[in-house]
Amino acid sequence: MSGQFLPVTRQECIERGIKQLDFVYVIGDAYVDHSSFGPAIISRVLESHGYTVGIISQPDWKDERSIQALGEPRLAFLVSSGNMDSMVNHYTVSKKHRHKDSFSPGGIMGKRPDRAVVVYGNLIRKSYKHTPIILGGIEASLRRMGHYDYWSDQIKRSILLDSGADMISYGMGERSIVEIADALASGIDIKDLTFIRGTVYRSKTIEHIPEPIMLPAFSDIQENKLDYAKSFAVQYKNTDPYQAGTLVEDYQNQGYVVQNPPAYPLSMQEMDDVYDLPYMRTYHPMYKKEGEIPAIEEIRFSLTSNRGCFGSCSFCALTFHQGRIIQVRSHESLIKEASIMTQDAEFKGYIHDVGGPTADFRQPACQKQLTKGACSHRQCLYPTPCKNLVADHSDYLALLRKLRKLPKIKKVFIRSGIRFDYVLADKKTPFLKELAEYHVSGQLRVAPEHVSEKVLSKMGKPSHQVYMEFLKKYEECCKKSGKEQYAVPYFMSSHPGCGIREAIELAEYIRDMGFMPEQVQDFYPTPSTIATCMYYTQVDPVTMESVYVPKNPHEKAMQRALIQYRNPENRQLVIEALKKGNREDLIGFGPKCLIRPRRTGSEKSERFSNDNKNIKAKKKKSIRNVHRKKQ
């Protein structure tokens, strides 16, 4: 099958001598055969084990015939919403419709339904009453048990029940999908597949489970927010494959939803095998008339070197999906892919990224994780790096040096983000020096997220002083390399724990920086994060202490406006916020004031000084000045 896309029509199946496909994969994204797309990985892994897979991409969910395009599969239907949760894909944090879908041809919105996994599952079940349906991907993975749903503002039951499916393969599913395929091919009924790691299934009884961990019943978490917080805390502590138990959620007259422990992490050889499969590395040619798939541009000339993250930020779902144990590819595998990349006619000599969830994690946080897993009672980096942490960039540096020397490669960038506290913890390697000298394209994007210690503690992020120390060392490295480069921070508004006073504290820091951030992210309560649990329950599920949560849309607008206080459109919101926070001292004409008390000629002229032609130059100068001030 090397050199071919997977079949998308019956005619293609016939041409390849396939009378009946083993699996039909229904996906919410356009069909992109690239290793950055989950459905492509799962399909190619199954193919490498001798199974045939066909793709139904973005079917018309209003027409049952669209799901019948490839006929009934011999073993099962696979269902995924795609690389994003369909609700996040469709809606902004203010629940307004987005205008662009980067995973659809031409960026056109509306190619998939809301809650795509549920809709596709039920659509399949209408036509095929008894064919197994297996859910996978981010949407199913993060909704595998009872969960808070931001868009309906409700606790929703496991997506397994609402979709009519038989099983969920959660997390990174290469191991579990092959075990499922082999079991089904051997004649085992899907209802008897209760033993596979990384899966969730329904059961009428739990007598077969040796030591079940009982979560609060679904009816209890619906009625009591504290019960939901307790349930989430138990789930969070059972995300490690070496320590997790079997979780059970009682749905009373509908039976039980059972979550087996996560699949074990892949070895380096297994990671290499996955990424060395014969991907076409682009989108299917059937989309050429409709337009390119925008998402491909970001990853087309990038390399995935790792998987998993032990950063454990409260607002991130990676702990639930990929886990905290780092899995990496070998240098040989990455160099091989980079060499293939250079043969692309459109390759200009620039590798856009070499990373993963966190670019500079190329090994487990400590040796213990390789055999005993990640600690359930503490984090690796928060509030300070664990004494057992092995902070070492030597392997990553060796990889980057090899890539830089490859023919036809002009520059190797790092764009997927680094963990600055981990960089500082590494006292042994010159990583920061080489980062500044070779791997930054003018601006290094970093994510301190906030400056208030109160908010940072709820984010699971390091102290603001750690970020300031990193900035100082980064600028020193830039000066030594003779390059005018800057760190551009990402900030988040309205995170649990952030009130108006904390938002003003951030605004004062931005004032001292000397420029207004172009991008601001309002906290988005997506499924299965600690911060989302805080948002709903107003309780920290780790400590069970109460947490202030900004939920009022007007207060959230004020917090966002404070971050961009120089924007004239935010004037009234900023004044209102400062008055509410008893900081009217910041309204005036002094050098520390955020805003003038009335519109003046100089304020009007400021609007014109911020036009697009001059803002980049102004920003660079401002960043340079603030760095000097901080030193």
pLDDT at 115 over 60: yes
**Mean pLDDT score, 193-200:** 98
Average the pLDDT over 269-284 and give the result: 97
Question: CB–CB of 362/393 below 8 Å?
Answer: yes
Tell me what pLDDT residue 617 has: 52
As beta bridge partners, residue 250 has: 256
Q: What is the CATH number of domain 442-631?
A: 3.30.750.200
- Checking if the pLDDT of 276 tops 70, the result is yes
Does pTM top 0.85 for this prediction?
yes
Name which residue leads in pLDDT, 369 or 1. 369
The residue extents of the domains of the chain are 10-205+253-259, 301-427, 442-631
Using the predicted structure, report yes or no on whether residue 510 has a pLDDT greater than 60. yes
pLDDT of residue 62: 95
Q: What is the pLDDT of residues 197-231, one digit of tens each?
A: 999 999 999 999 999 999 999 999 999 999 999 99
* Confidence at 474, pLDDT banded by 50, 70, 90: very high
DSSP-derived secondary structure letter, 432: H
Say yes or no to pLDDT of 514 above 80.
Answer: yes
In angstroms, the CA 44 to CA 55 distance is 11
What DSSP string runs through 202-243?
Answer: EES--TT-SSEEEPPPHHHHHH-HHHHHHHHHHHHTT--TTT
Q: What is the pLDDT of residue 520?
A: 83
Q: What pLDDT is attached to residue 518? A: 74
Query: In terms of pLDDT, which residue wins out, 621 or 154?
Result: 154
Residues 61-99 pLDDT 10s: 999 999 999 999 999 999 999 999 999 999 999 999 999
184: nearest Cα among 46, 82, 79: 46
Query: What integer pLDDT is reported at residue 376 of this predicted model?
Result: 87
Q: What is the pLDDT of residue 620?
A: 55
Amino acid identity of residue 204, one-letter, is K
Residue 415's contacts (CB-CB under 8 Å, 6 or more residues apart) are 302, 352, 353, 355, 359, 441, 445
pLDDT at 222: 97
Reply yes or no on whether the pLDDT at 624 is more than 60: no
Percent of the chain with pLDDT over 70: 94
What is the mean pLDDT of the segment spanning 425-432?
Answer: 96
The pLDDT score that the predictor gives to residue 2 is 47
> What's the pLDDT score for residue 377?
87
Whether residue 55 has pLDDT greater than 80? yes
**CB atoms inside a 10 Å sphere around CB 159:** 27
pLDDT band of residue 1 (cuts 50, 70, 90) is very low
Classify each residue of 415-448 as buried b or exposed e, where b means 16 or more C-beta atoms within 10 Å of its C-beta.
bbbbbbbbbbbbeebebbbbbbbbbbeeebbbbb
Fold of 10-205+253-259: Rossmann fold (3.40.50)
Please give the helix or strand (H or E) that residue 167 lies within, else none.
strand 167-169
Mean pLDDT of 329-352: 96
Using one digit for the tens of pLDDT, what is the confidence trace for 89-114? 999 999 999 999 999 999 999 999 99
Please report which confidence band the pLDDT of residue 3 belongs to, taking 50, 70 and 90 as the band edges.
confident
Same fold, 10-205+253-259 and 442-631: no
Is pLDDT at 179 greater than 80 in this prediction?
Answer: yes
pLDDT attached to residue 608: 46
Q: What is the pLDDT of residues 401-415, one digit of tens each?
A: 999 999 999 999 999
**426-430 contacts, C-beta under 8 A, 24 or more apart:** 426/391, 426/392, 426/393, 427/391, 428/391, 428/392, 428/394, 429/392, 429/393, 429/394, 429/397, 430/397
pLDDT at position 437 over 80 = yes
pLDDT above 90 coverage of the chain, percent: 89
**pLDDT (mean) for 443-452:** 94
Q: Tell me the per-residue pLDDT of 180-190, one tens digit each, with 9 for 90 and over.
A: 999 999 999 99
476's tokens: 């020193």
Distance, CA of 311 to CA of 334 (rounded, Å): 24
301-427: in CATH 3.30.750.210: yes
pLDDT of res. 279: 97
**More confident call, 29 vs 1:** 29
